[in-house]
Amino acid sequence: MTGARVLDLAVILAYLIFMAWLGVRFSRKQKTTEDFFVAKRSVPSWAMGLSLLATLISSVTFIAYPGSAYSKDWANLVPGFLVLGVLLLVGSVIIPFYRHVVGMSAYEYFEKRFGRPARVYASIAFSLAHFSKMGFVFYLMALTVNSITGWSLDLVVCGVCAVMVLYTVKGGIEAVIWTDVVQAFITWAGVIVCLCFLLFLPPGGPSAVFHLASEQGKFSLGRMQLDYTSATIPVLLVYGFFWYLQRYTADQTVVQRYLVAKSDRGALRGVALGAVLCVPIWALFMLIGTCTWAFYKLTGEQLPGYINKADQIFPHFIATHLPAGFAGLFMASLMGASMTMLASDLNCLAAVGVEDFYRSLRPQATDRQRLRMARILIVVVGALSAATALILAHAKGNALSMWFAVSAIVSGGLAGLFLLAFLSRRANPRGAYLGIAASLLFTLWAVLTNRRIVDLGPLNYRGDDLTIGALGHMVLWAVGYAGSLLFRGSTGKQQDMTVWAWVRDRKARAEQLVPDRHA
Protein backbone atom coordinates (compact mmCIF):
# COMPACT_ATOMS: atom_id res chain seq x y z
CA MET A 1 0.00 0.00 0.00
CA THR A 2 1.41 3.40 -1.02
CA GLY A 3 1.84 6.27 1.42
CA ALA A 4 -1.07 8.09 -0.21
CA ARG A 5 -3.38 5.14 0.29
CA VAL A 6 -2.27 4.82 3.93
CA LEU A 7 -3.48 8.40 4.51
CA ASP A 8 -6.79 7.64 2.77
CA LEU A 9 -7.14 4.52 4.92
CA ALA A 10 -6.49 6.57 8.06
CA VAL A 11 -9.27 9.01 7.14
CA ILE A 12 -11.69 6.15 6.48
CA LEU A 13 -10.80 4.30 9.69
CA ALA A 14 -11.22 7.47 11.74
CA TYR A 15 -14.67 7.95 10.25
CA LEU A 16 -15.74 4.33 10.83
CA ILE A 17 -14.48 4.41 14.44
CA PHE A 18 -16.44 7.60 15.06
CA MET A 19 -19.63 6.02 13.66
CA ALA A 20 -19.16 2.96 15.89
CA TRP A 21 -18.56 5.23 18.89
CA LEU A 22 -21.84 7.04 18.29
CA GLY A 23 -23.70 3.75 18.44
CA VAL A 24 -22.06 2.78 21.72
CA ARG A 25 -22.75 6.27 23.12
CA PHE A 26 -26.50 5.89 22.60
CA SER A 27 -26.65 2.25 23.72
CA ARG A 28 -27.43 3.17 27.34
CA LYS A 29 -30.71 4.77 26.27
CA GLN A 30 -32.07 1.71 24.47
CA LYS A 31 -34.18 0.11 27.20
CA THR A 32 -37.50 -0.42 25.39
CA THR A 33 -38.80 -0.90 21.85
CA GLU A 34 -40.16 2.66 22.09
CA ASP A 35 -36.57 3.84 22.61
CA PHE A 36 -35.16 1.56 19.94
CA PHE A 37 -37.63 2.31 17.14
CA VAL A 38 -38.91 5.87 17.71
CA ALA A 39 -36.41 7.39 20.22
CA LYS A 40 -39.27 8.22 22.62
CA ARG A 41 -40.52 10.68 19.95
CA SER A 42 -37.99 13.26 21.11
CA VAL A 43 -35.75 14.01 18.10
CA PRO A 44 -35.37 17.70 17.05
CA SER A 45 -36.96 18.50 13.71
CA TRP A 46 -33.70 19.69 12.11
CA ALA A 47 -31.94 16.42 13.01
CA MET A 48 -34.88 14.41 11.70
CA GLY A 49 -34.72 16.37 8.43
CA LEU A 50 -31.00 15.75 7.97
CA SER A 51 -31.59 12.08 8.79
CA LEU A 52 -34.22 11.87 6.07
CA LEU A 53 -31.79 13.51 3.65
CA ALA A 54 -29.07 10.99 4.47
CA THR A 55 -31.55 8.13 4.14
CA LEU A 56 -32.36 9.21 0.56
CA ILE A 57 -28.67 9.48 -0.41
CA SER A 58 -26.81 6.22 -1.03
CA SER A 59 -23.88 4.81 -2.98
CA VAL A 60 -26.23 4.73 -5.98
CA THR A 61 -26.44 8.53 -5.77
CA PHE A 62 -22.66 8.86 -5.54
CA ILE A 63 -22.01 6.75 -8.64
CA ALA A 64 -25.14 6.41 -10.76
CA TYR A 65 -26.02 10.12 -10.86
CA PRO A 66 -22.56 11.24 -12.07
CA GLY A 67 -22.51 8.32 -14.51
CA SER A 68 -25.91 9.30 -15.90
CA ALA A 69 -24.91 12.95 -16.35
CA TYR A 70 -21.57 11.94 -17.90
CA SER A 71 -23.11 9.70 -20.55
CA LYS A 72 -26.27 11.72 -21.26
CA ASP A 73 -27.76 14.77 -19.57
CA TRP A 74 -29.70 15.72 -16.41
CA ALA A 75 -32.92 13.88 -17.30
CA ASN A 76 -32.66 11.56 -14.29
CA LEU A 77 -32.91 14.59 -12.00
CA VAL A 78 -36.50 15.19 -13.14
CA PRO A 79 -38.16 12.61 -10.79
CA GLY A 80 -36.42 14.31 -7.85
CA PHE A 81 -38.42 17.51 -8.39
CA LEU A 82 -41.53 15.60 -7.31
CA VAL A 83 -40.10 15.07 -3.82
CA LEU A 84 -41.18 18.66 -3.11
CA GLY A 85 -44.42 18.50 -5.11
CA VAL A 86 -45.73 15.41 -3.34
CA LEU A 87 -44.77 16.82 0.06
CA LEU A 88 -46.72 20.03 -0.63
CA LEU A 89 -49.69 17.93 -1.73
CA VAL A 90 -49.90 15.46 1.16
CA GLY A 91 -47.52 16.58 3.92
CA SER A 92 -49.88 18.63 6.09
CA VAL A 93 -52.41 15.78 6.23
CA ILE A 94 -50.37 12.56 5.97
CA ILE A 95 -47.78 13.40 8.62
CA PRO A 96 -50.16 14.25 11.51
CA PHE A 97 -52.48 11.41 10.41
CA TYR A 98 -49.76 8.79 10.78
CA ARG A 99 -48.51 10.27 14.05
CA HIS A 100 -51.96 9.79 15.60
CA VAL A 101 -53.05 6.51 13.95
CA VAL A 102 -50.04 4.16 14.20
CA GLY A 103 -47.65 3.19 16.95
CA MET A 104 -44.34 2.11 15.40
CA SER A 105 -45.20 0.40 12.09
CA ALA A 106 -46.73 2.22 9.12
CA TYR A 107 -48.57 -0.96 8.21
CA GLU A 108 -50.73 -0.91 11.32
CA TYR A 109 -52.91 1.46 9.32
CA PHE A 110 -53.61 -1.10 6.61
CA GLU A 111 -54.76 -3.61 9.22
CA LYS A 112 -57.12 -1.07 10.77
CA ARG A 113 -58.51 -0.24 7.33
CA PHE A 114 -58.59 -3.60 5.52
CA GLY A 115 -57.71 -6.30 8.04
CA ARG A 116 -54.71 -8.44 8.89
CA PRO A 117 -53.98 -9.77 5.34
CA ALA A 118 -53.49 -6.22 4.02
CA ARG A 119 -50.99 -5.49 6.77
CA VAL A 120 -49.09 -8.70 6.06
CA TYR A 121 -48.99 -7.95 2.33
CA ALA A 122 -47.74 -4.39 2.85
CA SER A 123 -45.12 -5.49 5.39
CA ILE A 124 -43.79 -8.24 3.13
CA ALA A 125 -43.78 -5.95 0.09
CA PHE A 126 -41.81 -3.29 1.96
CA SER A 127 -39.37 -5.82 3.40
CA LEU A 128 -38.64 -7.55 0.10
CA ALA A 129 -38.26 -4.27 -1.79
CA HIS A 130 -35.81 -2.83 0.71
CA PHE A 131 -33.86 -6.01 1.25
CA SER A 132 -33.49 -6.41 -2.51
CA LYS A 133 -31.70 -3.07 -2.75
CA MET A 134 -29.48 -3.51 0.32
CA GLY A 135 -27.12 -6.03 -1.22
CA PHE A 136 -26.83 -3.93 -4.37
CA VAL A 137 -26.00 -0.76 -2.39
CA PHE A 138 -23.30 -2.64 -0.47
CA TYR A 139 -21.93 -4.11 -3.67
CA LEU A 140 -21.81 -0.80 -5.55
CA MET A 141 -20.09 0.94 -2.64
CA ALA A 142 -17.44 -1.77 -2.29
CA LEU A 143 -16.92 -1.98 -6.05
CA THR A 144 -16.27 1.77 -6.21
CA VAL A 145 -13.78 1.69 -3.33
CA ASN A 146 -12.09 -1.31 -4.92
CA SER A 147 -11.78 0.48 -8.27
CA ILE A 148 -10.22 3.54 -6.58
CA THR A 149 -7.82 1.78 -4.20
CA GLY A 150 -7.51 -1.86 -5.22
CA TRP A 151 -8.50 -2.92 -1.70
CA SER A 152 -10.24 -6.28 -1.37
CA LEU A 153 -13.91 -5.98 -2.23
CA ASP A 154 -14.81 -8.72 0.25
CA LEU A 155 -12.97 -6.99 3.10
CA VAL A 156 -14.63 -3.64 2.35
CA VAL A 157 -18.10 -5.23 2.41
CA CYS A 158 -17.46 -7.13 5.63
CA GLY A 159 -15.76 -4.22 7.41
CA VAL A 160 -18.44 -1.66 6.58
CA CYS A 161 -21.21 -4.14 7.40
CA ALA A 162 -19.68 -4.88 10.82
CA VAL A 163 -19.54 -1.19 11.78
CA MET A 164 -23.06 -0.52 10.49
CA VAL A 165 -24.59 -3.48 12.34
CA LEU A 166 -22.70 -2.56 15.53
CA TYR A 167 -24.01 0.99 15.83
CA THR A 168 -27.52 0.02 14.68
CA VAL A 169 -27.78 -2.82 17.22
CA LYS A 170 -26.31 -0.79 20.06
CA GLY A 171 -27.83 2.62 19.48
CA GLY A 172 -31.19 1.98 17.81
CA ILE A 173 -32.94 4.64 15.72
CA GLU A 174 -31.34 7.41 17.78
CA ALA A 175 -27.84 6.32 16.76
CA VAL A 176 -29.05 5.94 13.16
CA ILE A 177 -30.42 9.48 13.13
CA TRP A 178 -27.35 11.15 14.64
CA THR A 179 -24.98 9.26 12.36
CA ASP A 180 -27.24 10.44 9.55
CA VAL A 181 -26.70 14.03 10.73
CA VAL A 182 -22.93 13.58 10.68
CA GLN A 183 -23.15 11.94 7.26
CA ALA A 184 -25.15 14.86 5.84
CA PHE A 185 -22.25 17.23 6.58
CA ILE A 186 -19.66 14.74 5.32
CA THR A 187 -21.61 14.38 2.06
CA TRP A 188 -21.61 18.14 1.49
CA ALA A 189 -17.87 18.27 2.20
CA GLY A 190 -17.10 15.40 -0.19
CA VAL A 191 -19.19 16.92 -2.98
CA ILE A 192 -17.64 20.38 -2.64
CA VAL A 193 -14.08 19.00 -2.63
CA CYS A 194 -14.71 16.95 -5.78
CA LEU A 195 -16.34 19.86 -7.59
CA CYS A 196 -13.45 22.19 -6.77
CA PHE A 197 -10.96 19.82 -8.40
CA LEU A 198 -13.23 19.16 -11.40
CA LEU A 199 -13.83 22.88 -12.01
CA PHE A 200 -10.31 24.25 -11.51
CA LEU A 201 -8.05 21.51 -12.89
CA PRO A 202 -9.08 21.76 -16.58
CA PRO A 203 -7.60 24.54 -18.75
CA GLY A 204 -9.89 27.57 -18.76
CA GLY A 205 -11.35 26.75 -15.33
CA PRO A 206 -15.08 26.89 -14.47
CA SER A 207 -16.03 29.16 -17.38
CA ALA A 208 -14.62 26.69 -19.92
CA VAL A 209 -16.34 23.77 -18.19
CA PHE A 210 -19.77 25.41 -18.14
CA HIS A 211 -19.45 26.82 -21.67
CA LEU A 212 -18.57 23.44 -23.19
CA ALA A 213 -21.26 21.57 -21.23
CA SER A 214 -23.92 24.14 -22.14
CA GLU A 215 -22.88 24.15 -25.79
CA GLN A 216 -23.25 20.35 -25.97
CA GLY A 217 -26.64 20.27 -24.20
CA LYS A 218 -25.34 18.43 -21.14
CA PHE A 219 -27.70 20.37 -18.82
CA SER A 220 -30.82 19.26 -20.72
CA LEU A 221 -33.62 17.67 -18.69
CA GLY A 222 -34.72 15.44 -21.56
CA ARG A 223 -37.47 15.38 -24.18
CA MET A 224 -41.05 16.60 -23.69
CA GLN A 225 -42.67 14.08 -26.08
CA LEU A 226 -45.71 12.14 -24.86
CA ASP A 227 -44.00 8.80 -25.49
CA TYR A 228 -44.49 6.18 -22.79
CA THR A 229 -41.98 3.79 -24.40
CA SER A 230 -38.94 5.86 -23.38
CA ALA A 231 -37.83 7.99 -20.43
CA THR A 232 -39.26 11.32 -21.61
CA ILE A 233 -39.97 14.18 -19.19
CA PRO A 234 -43.68 13.24 -18.78
CA VAL A 235 -42.73 9.62 -18.03
CA LEU A 236 -40.09 10.76 -15.52
CA LEU A 237 -42.58 13.10 -13.82
CA VAL A 238 -45.22 10.36 -13.50
CA TYR A 239 -42.60 7.95 -12.16
CA GLY A 240 -41.36 10.55 -9.67
CA PHE A 241 -44.88 11.36 -8.48
CA PHE A 242 -45.78 7.77 -7.66
CA TRP A 243 -42.31 6.94 -6.31
CA TYR A 244 -42.41 9.76 -3.74
CA LEU A 245 -46.10 9.26 -3.05
CA GLN A 246 -45.25 5.71 -2.02
CA ARG A 247 -42.30 6.89 0.06
CA TYR A 248 -44.33 9.51 1.94
CA THR A 249 -47.40 7.34 2.47
CA ALA A 250 -46.35 3.69 2.65
CA ASP A 251 -42.60 3.46 3.32
CA GLN A 252 -41.59 2.57 6.87
CA THR A 253 -38.22 4.37 6.58
CA VAL A 254 -40.01 7.69 5.98
CA VAL A 255 -43.07 7.14 8.20
CA GLN A 256 -40.76 6.17 11.06
CA ARG A 257 -39.15 9.61 10.70
CA TYR A 258 -42.57 11.19 11.24
CA LEU A 259 -42.90 9.27 14.50
CA VAL A 260 -39.57 10.27 16.09
CA ALA A 261 -40.29 14.02 16.05
CA LYS A 262 -41.47 15.86 19.15
CA SER A 263 -44.65 17.28 17.57
CA ASP A 264 -46.72 17.27 14.39
CA ARG A 265 -45.35 20.66 13.41
CA GLY A 266 -41.79 19.50 14.11
CA ALA A 267 -42.29 16.40 11.97
CA LEU A 268 -43.56 18.52 9.06
CA ARG A 269 -40.64 20.94 9.39
CA GLY A 270 -38.14 18.08 9.47
CA VAL A 271 -39.58 16.33 6.42
CA ALA A 272 -39.68 19.66 4.56
CA LEU A 273 -36.03 20.32 5.41
CA GLY A 274 -34.98 16.90 4.14
CA ALA A 275 -36.97 17.33 0.92
CA VAL A 276 -35.63 20.84 0.25
CA LEU A 277 -32.02 19.68 0.67
CA CYS A 278 -32.41 16.55 -1.49
CA VAL A 279 -32.80 18.33 -4.83
CA PRO A 280 -29.62 20.46 -4.47
CA ILE A 281 -27.60 17.38 -3.46
CA TRP A 282 -28.88 15.40 -6.44
CA ALA A 283 -28.19 18.37 -8.73
CA LEU A 284 -24.62 18.62 -7.41
CA PHE A 285 -24.02 14.94 -8.18
CA MET A 286 -25.36 15.54 -11.68
CA LEU A 287 -23.00 18.52 -11.94
CA ILE A 288 -20.11 16.27 -10.90
CA GLY A 289 -20.91 13.95 -13.80
CA THR A 290 -21.11 16.85 -16.27
CA CYS A 291 -17.86 18.36 -14.98
CA THR A 292 -16.13 14.97 -15.22
CA TRP A 293 -17.20 14.77 -18.89
CA ALA A 294 -15.94 18.32 -19.51
CA PHE A 295 -12.64 17.58 -17.71
CA TYR A 296 -11.72 14.75 -20.06
CA LYS A 297 -12.86 16.71 -23.10
CA LEU A 298 -10.88 19.83 -22.17
CA THR A 299 -7.71 18.06 -21.04
CA GLY A 300 -7.71 15.42 -23.79
CA GLU A 301 -6.68 12.85 -21.19
CA GLN A 302 -7.32 9.30 -22.38
CA LEU A 303 -9.26 6.86 -20.27
CA PRO A 304 -7.74 3.40 -19.72
CA GLY A 305 -9.05 0.55 -21.83
CA TYR A 306 -10.64 -1.34 -18.95
CA ILE A 307 -13.21 1.45 -18.43
CA ASN A 308 -16.25 0.58 -20.51
CA LYS A 309 -19.10 2.11 -18.47
CA ALA A 310 -19.87 5.72 -17.57
CA ASP A 311 -20.27 4.72 -13.89
CA GLN A 312 -16.56 3.85 -13.76
CA ILE A 313 -15.23 7.24 -14.91
CA PHE A 314 -15.84 9.41 -11.85
CA PRO A 315 -14.20 6.84 -9.50
CA HIS A 316 -11.25 6.74 -11.94
CA PHE A 317 -10.96 10.53 -11.66
CA ILE A 318 -10.98 10.24 -7.85
CA ALA A 319 -8.22 7.63 -7.95
CA THR A 320 -5.96 9.56 -10.34
CA HIS A 321 -6.50 13.24 -9.55
CA LEU A 322 -7.48 13.72 -5.90
CA PRO A 323 -4.55 14.12 -3.47
CA ALA A 324 -4.01 11.76 -0.57
CA GLY A 325 -6.55 12.35 2.17
CA PHE A 326 -9.09 14.02 -0.11
CA ALA A 327 -9.79 10.71 -1.84
CA GLY A 328 -10.18 9.20 1.62
CA LEU A 329 -12.72 11.90 2.49
CA PHE A 330 -14.74 11.05 -0.60
CA MET A 331 -14.61 7.31 0.13
CA ALA A 332 -15.57 7.92 3.76
CA SER A 333 -18.52 9.95 2.48
CA LEU A 334 -19.44 7.13 0.09
CA MET A 335 -19.21 4.48 2.80
CA GLY A 336 -21.14 6.68 5.21
CA ALA A 337 -23.90 7.27 2.68
CA SER A 338 -24.27 3.54 2.22
CA MET A 339 -24.18 2.82 5.94
CA THR A 340 -26.71 5.48 6.92
CA MET A 341 -29.25 4.38 4.35
CA LEU A 342 -28.73 0.69 5.14
CA ALA A 343 -28.77 1.28 8.91
CA SER A 344 -32.11 3.04 8.51
CA ASP A 345 -33.37 0.08 6.48
CA LEU A 346 -32.14 -2.36 9.14
CA ASN A 347 -33.88 -0.54 11.97
CA CYS A 348 -37.09 -0.24 9.95
CA LEU A 349 -37.01 -3.88 8.86
CA ALA A 350 -36.56 -4.86 12.51
CA ALA A 351 -39.53 -2.64 13.46
CA VAL A 352 -41.68 -4.29 10.80
CA GLY A 353 -40.48 -7.76 11.81
CA VAL A 354 -41.23 -7.21 15.48
CA GLU A 355 -44.43 -5.14 15.25
CA ASP A 356 -46.07 -6.83 12.26
CA PHE A 357 -45.02 -10.45 12.72
CA TYR A 358 -43.34 -11.25 16.06
CA ARG A 359 -46.15 -9.65 18.09
CA SER A 360 -48.70 -11.87 16.33
CA LEU A 361 -46.63 -15.02 16.67
CA ARG A 362 -45.70 -14.30 20.32
CA PRO A 363 -48.51 -12.12 21.75
CA GLN A 364 -47.37 -12.86 25.32
CA ALA A 365 -43.78 -11.74 24.71
CA THR A 366 -42.50 -8.97 26.97
CA ASP A 367 -41.14 -5.70 25.65
CA ARG A 368 -37.65 -6.86 26.62
CA GLN A 369 -38.07 -9.99 24.49
CA ARG A 370 -39.29 -7.90 21.56
CA LEU A 371 -36.24 -5.65 21.90
CA ARG A 372 -33.95 -8.67 21.86
CA MET A 373 -35.70 -10.00 18.75
CA ALA A 374 -35.22 -6.61 17.06
CA ARG A 375 -31.48 -6.81 17.63
CA ILE A 376 -31.33 -10.39 16.38
CA LEU A 377 -33.18 -9.37 13.21
CA ILE A 378 -30.73 -6.52 12.59
CA VAL A 379 -27.74 -8.87 12.84
CA VAL A 380 -29.33 -11.52 10.62
CA VAL A 381 -30.56 -9.11 7.93
CA GLY A 382 -27.25 -7.21 7.97
CA ALA A 383 -25.30 -10.43 7.46
CA LEU A 384 -27.64 -11.55 4.67
CA SER A 385 -27.32 -8.22 2.85
CA ALA A 386 -23.52 -8.45 3.04
CA ALA A 387 -23.69 -12.05 1.76
CA THR A 388 -25.88 -10.87 -1.11
CA ALA A 389 -23.31 -8.21 -1.99
CA LEU A 390 -20.55 -10.82 -2.02
CA ILE A 391 -22.63 -13.11 -4.23
CA LEU A 392 -23.24 -10.24 -6.66
CA ALA A 393 -19.52 -9.46 -6.64
CA HIS A 394 -18.57 -12.98 -7.67
CA ALA A 395 -21.59 -13.99 -9.75
CA LYS A 396 -21.61 -13.96 -13.51
CA GLY A 397 -24.51 -13.33 -15.83
CA ASN A 398 -27.71 -11.46 -15.15
CA ALA A 399 -28.36 -12.42 -11.52
CA LEU A 400 -28.76 -8.76 -10.59
CA SER A 401 -31.32 -8.19 -13.33
CA MET A 402 -33.33 -11.20 -12.17
CA TRP A 403 -33.12 -10.01 -8.55
CA PHE A 404 -34.63 -6.64 -9.42
CA ALA A 405 -37.30 -8.28 -11.59
CA VAL A 406 -38.45 -10.44 -8.68
CA SER A 407 -38.44 -7.52 -6.20
CA ALA A 408 -40.48 -5.37 -8.59
CA ILE A 409 -43.13 -8.08 -8.91
CA VAL A 410 -43.64 -8.58 -5.17
CA SER A 411 -43.39 -4.95 -4.00
CA GLY A 412 -45.76 -3.08 -6.32
CA GLY A 413 -48.85 -1.07 -5.54
CA LEU A 414 -48.36 0.22 -1.98
CA ALA A 415 -49.13 3.82 -2.93
CA GLY A 416 -52.27 2.60 -4.72
CA LEU A 417 -53.27 0.63 -1.62
CA PHE A 418 -52.81 3.71 0.55
CA LEU A 419 -54.86 5.92 -1.82
CA LEU A 420 -57.63 3.31 -1.85
CA ALA A 421 -57.65 3.13 1.95
CA PHE A 422 -57.28 6.84 2.62
CA LEU A 423 -59.49 8.47 -0.02
CA SER A 424 -62.47 6.13 -0.39
CA ARG A 425 -65.15 5.48 2.22
CA ARG A 426 -66.53 2.69 0.05
CA ALA A 427 -63.26 0.75 -0.16
CA ASN A 428 -63.49 -2.52 1.75
CA PRO A 429 -61.24 -5.53 2.42
CA ARG A 430 -62.50 -7.74 -0.40
CA GLY A 431 -62.07 -4.93 -2.93
CA ALA A 432 -58.57 -4.22 -1.61
CA TYR A 433 -57.52 -7.87 -1.90
CA LEU A 434 -58.84 -7.97 -5.46
CA GLY A 435 -56.81 -4.84 -6.24
CA ILE A 436 -53.65 -6.35 -4.73
CA ALA A 437 -54.07 -9.50 -6.85
CA ALA A 438 -54.63 -7.44 -10.01
CA SER A 439 -51.58 -5.27 -9.31
CA LEU A 440 -49.37 -8.31 -8.72
CA LEU A 441 -50.56 -9.99 -11.92
CA PHE A 442 -50.08 -6.80 -13.96
CA THR A 443 -46.58 -6.22 -12.56
CA LEU A 444 -45.64 -9.88 -13.11
CA TRP A 445 -46.70 -9.68 -16.77
CA ALA A 446 -45.13 -6.26 -17.38
CA VAL A 447 -41.75 -7.06 -15.79
CA LEU A 448 -41.32 -10.50 -17.32
CA THR A 449 -42.36 -9.48 -20.85
CA ASN A 450 -40.64 -6.08 -20.80
CA ARG A 451 -37.33 -7.70 -19.90
CA ARG A 452 -38.03 -10.57 -22.32
CA ILE A 453 -37.70 -13.11 -19.54
CA VAL A 454 -40.94 -14.36 -21.05
CA ASP A 455 -41.61 -13.44 -24.70
CA LEU A 456 -45.29 -13.21 -25.63
CA GLY A 457 -44.69 -11.44 -28.93
CA PRO A 458 -47.41 -8.81 -29.56
CA LEU A 459 -48.62 -9.22 -25.94
CA ASN A 460 -45.31 -8.02 -24.47
CA TYR A 461 -45.38 -4.86 -22.37
CA ARG A 462 -44.00 -2.04 -24.53
CA GLY A 463 -43.69 0.78 -22.03
CA ASP A 464 -40.53 2.08 -20.41
CA ASP A 465 -39.42 0.31 -17.21
CA LEU A 466 -40.29 3.42 -15.19
CA THR A 467 -43.97 3.21 -16.11
CA ILE A 468 -44.50 -0.25 -14.60
CA GLY A 469 -44.52 0.84 -10.97
CA ALA A 470 -46.80 3.83 -11.61
CA LEU A 471 -49.31 1.70 -13.50
CA GLY A 472 -49.14 -0.95 -10.77
CA HIS A 473 -50.34 1.64 -8.22
CA MET A 474 -53.14 2.79 -10.54
CA VAL A 475 -54.25 -0.77 -11.28
CA LEU A 476 -54.48 -1.56 -7.56
CA TRP A 477 -56.51 1.56 -6.85
CA ALA A 478 -58.87 1.19 -9.84
CA VAL A 479 -59.53 -2.53 -9.42
CA GLY A 480 -59.74 -2.17 -5.64
CA TYR A 481 -62.34 0.58 -5.93
CA ALA A 482 -64.38 -1.30 -8.54
CA GLY A 483 -64.20 -4.48 -6.46
CA SER A 484 -65.37 -2.57 -3.38
CA LEU A 485 -68.45 -1.37 -5.28
CA LEU A 486 -69.13 -4.95 -6.33
CA PHE A 487 -68.53 -6.50 -2.89
CA ARG A 488 -69.98 -4.08 -0.37
CA GLY A 489 -69.02 -4.47 3.27
CA SER A 490 -66.93 -1.61 4.71
CA THR A 491 -67.70 -1.06 8.39
CA GLY A 492 -68.13 2.28 10.14
CA LYS A 493 -64.90 1.74 12.06
CA GLN A 494 -63.00 1.14 8.81
CA GLN A 495 -64.56 4.25 7.26
CA ASP A 496 -63.25 6.28 10.19
CA MET A 497 -59.74 5.56 8.88
CA THR A 498 -60.23 7.77 5.78
CA VAL A 499 -59.11 11.35 5.15
CA TRP A 500 -62.72 12.53 5.32
CA ALA A 501 -63.22 11.22 8.85
CA TRP A 502 -59.80 12.56 9.84
CA VAL A 503 -60.63 16.09 8.61
CA ARG A 504 -64.04 15.95 10.28
CA ASP A 505 -62.60 14.87 13.63
CA ARG A 506 -59.78 17.39 13.43
CA LYS A 507 -62.25 20.18 12.75
CA ALA A 508 -64.38 19.06 15.70
CA ARG A 509 -61.34 19.07 17.99
CA ALA A 510 -60.41 22.57 16.82
CA GLU A 511 -63.92 23.85 17.49
CA GLN A 512 -63.77 22.50 21.03
CA LEU A 513 -60.76 24.71 21.67
CA VAL A 514 -62.59 27.87 20.59
CA PRO A 515 -64.48 29.51 23.49
CA ASP A 516 -68.23 29.78 23.06
CA ARG A 517 -68.91 33.34 21.89
CA HIS A 518 -72.25 33.40 23.64
CA ALA A 519 -70.92 32.22 26.97
For the chain, the average pLDDT equals: 85
325: helix, coil or strand?
Answer: coil
Q: C-alpha angle with apex 460: 435 to 407, nearest 5 degrees?
A: 55
Residue 54 has pLDDT above 70, yes or no: yes
Bridge partners for 234 per DSSP: none
Q: What is the mean pLDDT of residues 303-322?
A: 84
Confidence of residue 289 (pLDDT cuts 50, 70, 90): very high
Q: How many CB atoms lie within 10 A of CB 401?
A: 11
Half-sphere exposure of 346 (CA within 13 A, CB side): 38
Confidence of residue 209 (pLDDT cuts 50, 70, 90): very high
Cβ–Cβ < 8 Å for 139, 132: no
Residue 279 has pLDDT above 60, yes or no: yes
Confidence of residue 4 (pLDDT cuts 50, 70, 90): low
pTM: 0.85
Predicted local distance difference test score (pLDDT) of residue 381: 93
Distance, CA of 288 to CA of 67 (rounded, Å): 9
Residue 354 has pLDDT above 90, yes or no: yes
% of the chain exceeding 70 in pLDDT: 92
Confidence of residue 398 (pLDDT cuts 50, 70, 90): very low
Predicted local distance difference test score (pLDDT) of residue 223: 86
Q: What is the mean pLDDT of residues 81-90?
A: 85
Q: What is the mean pLDDT of residues 218-233?
A: 85
Predicted local distance difference test score (pLDDT) of residue 357: 92
Predicted local distance difference test score (pLDDT) of residue 311: 80
Buried b or exposed e, range 375-392, using 16+ CB within 10 angstroms: bebbeebbeebbebbbeb
Q: What is the mean pLDDT of residues 363-375?
A: 93
Give the residue with greater pLDDT, 57 vs 491: 57
Backbone angles phi, psi at 315, to 5 degrees: -60, -35
Cβ–Cβ < 8 Å for 257, 163: no
Cβ–Cβ < 8 Å for 347, 176: yes
262: helix, coil or strand?
Answer: coil
Closest CA to 401 of 129, 141, 136: 136
- Cα end-to-end distance, the chain, whole Å: 82
CB burial of residue 228 (10 Å; 0-12, 13-18, 19+): middle
Instruction: Please give the C-alpha separations between residue 368 and each of 31, 32, 350, 352, 364, in angstroms, as whole numbers.
Output: 8, 7, 14, 17, 11
Half-sphere exposure of 248 (CA within 13 A, CB side): 30
Predicted local distance difference test score (pLDDT) of residue 410: 54
Q: What is the mean pLDDT of residues 495-502?
A: 79
pLDDT tens digits along 105-143:
889 999 989 999 999 999 998 888 888 788 888 888 888
Distance, CA of 453 to CA of 134 (rounded, Å): 24
Cβ–Cβ < 8 Å for 36, 343: no
Residue 245 has pLDDT above 70, yes or no: yes
Residue 411 has pLDDT above 80, yes or no: no
428: helix, coil or strand?
Answer: coil
Predicted local distance difference test score (pLDDT) of residue 432: 93
Domains and CATH numbers, the chain: 3-299+319-393 (1.20.1730.10), 396-504 (no CATH)
Type of residue found at 81: F
Predicted local distance difference test score (pLDDT) of residue 492: 60
| pLDDT-wise least confident of 31-35, 179-183, 323-327 | 323-327
